Amino acid sequence: MANLNEQKRYCSECEHYSEFSEVKLEESLRIKGVPITASHIYYECNNCKELFESFDDPDYNTRIDFEIYSFKVGILKPVEIKQLRENYGLSLRQFAEIIGISYSTLSEIENGYILHSKHLDSTLRLCENPVSFRDLFLTKEKFLKGNYDGVKENLLALCLSSDDRNAEIVGDFKAMVSDLADKTQEAIRVTNILKYESEDLNRKINGKENGSWSEKVIAVFSS
C-alpha cells in the first residue's frame, strides 16, 4: 500500500483527521447483466480502516468498470467517442445535435460517467465513416440550430481524401457489379438459346420445315 502522507484528510466515518493509504482490490460485479472483474482503487482511513473512493477523482472506479464493459459488449469507449468528434472538428454541442442527443448526455458519455445505448453506438459506428456522417449532416442540416459554418466543406474534404476503408468498399462494390454483369450476360445467352430452341420446335410442329406434320403422317400410311 502507498501511504498518502502529503496531508491529513477528514474522515467522515470516524470524524477524525487521519492519514489515508491507497488500497487496490480485485472486485467482480455485473453491469446490465454482464459480469466483469476490475482492479479498483480505494483509500483507507488509517484510523478506522474505512474505505473511500478517490478524493480527487471519485468516478475513477466507475470509469474503469464502464471501459471493461464497453470492451466486452463491443461498444465504443468514451475516449473513442471523443476522438471521433474531434476528428470532425466539432464541439460537444454541434456533435450532440447532429446525432440527436443532448449536450449534457454526450458530455457525460465522453467523460465516462454514463453508458450509451447499443442503438446510439450503431449511429456512432456509422459516423466513423465520413461519407455516412456527411449524409447524416446534410439530412438534418436545415433543422440544426447551432452554428455550422465550414462544417459542410470540411466533411466534403474528408470524404474526398484518400481512405483505405472507403477504397476497399469501392473495390468490393465494383467487384459485385462486375460479377452481376457476368451473370446477366450468361442469363441473356441462356435465354437466347432457349428462345431459339423453342422457336425451332414450334416450326417443326407446325410443319414449316420438311413438310407439314399431316403430310408426314399421310406419307407414312401410304407407303
pLDDT in tens, the chain (223 residues): 444 444 689 999 999 999 999 999 999 999 999 999 999 999 999 999 999 999 999 999 999 999 999 999 999 999 999 999 999 999 999 999 999 999 999 999 999 999 999 999 999 999 999 999 999 999 999 999 889 988 988 888 888 875 555 566 566 667 777 888 888 988 888 888 888 888 777 777 776 555 554 555 455 455 5
For residue 171, tell me if it sits in a domain: no
For residue 168, tell me if it sits in a domain: no
For residue 173, tell me if it sits in a domain: no
For residue 50, tell me if it sits in a domain: yes
Residues 62 and 95 in one domain: no
Please give the span between the terminal C-alpha atoms of the chain, in angstroms, as a whole number: 118
pLDDT value at position 1? 42
Residues 85 and 153 in one domain: yes
Look up the domain containing 156 and give its range.
Answer: 78-161
For residue 29, tell me if it sits in a domain: yes
Backbone angles phi, psi at 47, to 5 degrees: -95, -55
For residue 12, tell me if it sits in a domain: yes
Residues 128 and 63 in one domain: no
Residues 150 and 187 in one domain: no
**Any idea what the CATH number is for the domain that residue 139 is in?**
1.10.260
For residue 13, tell me if it sits in a domain: yes
pLDDT value at position 3? 46
Asked which of 45, 73, 101 is the last residue of a domain, the reply is: 73
Q: Are 165 and 187 in contact (CB under 8 A)?
A: no
Taking the C-alpha atoms of residue 45 and residue 69, their distance in angstroms, rounded to an integer, is 30
Task: Give this prediction's pTM.
Answer: 0.65
pLDDT value at position 173? 66
Residues 118 and 183 in one domain: no
Residues 67 and 99 in one domain: no
Number of compact structural domains in the chain: 3
Between the alpha carbon of residue 86 and those of residues 81, 92, 147, 153, the distances in Å are: 9, 9, 16, 16
> In this structure, which amino acid lies at residue 182?
D
pLDDT value at position 156? 86
